[in-house]
Amino acid sequence: MKVINSLAFKYVLKNKKKSLSIILGIMVVTILVVTAITFLSSYQQYLAESIRNKKNWEISIKNIPYADTYKIMENKNIKEMSITRKIGTAR
Report domain extents, the chain: 2-56
Percent of the residues in the chain that have a pLDDT greater than 90, as a whole number: 25
Rounded to the nearest 5 degrees, what angle is found at the Cα of 29, between the Cα atoms of 25 and 35?
145
Kindly report the backbone phi and psi dihedral angles of residue 80, in degrees, each rounded to the nearest multiple of 5, phi listed first: -135, 145
What is the band of 65 on the pLDDT scale with cuts at 50, 70, 90? Answer: confident
Instruction: Please report which confidence band the pLDDT of residue 32 belongs to, taking 50, 70 and 90 as the band edges.
Output: very high
pLDDT at position 27? 97
Mean pLDDT of 56-64: 79
Contact 46, 40 (CB under 8 A): no
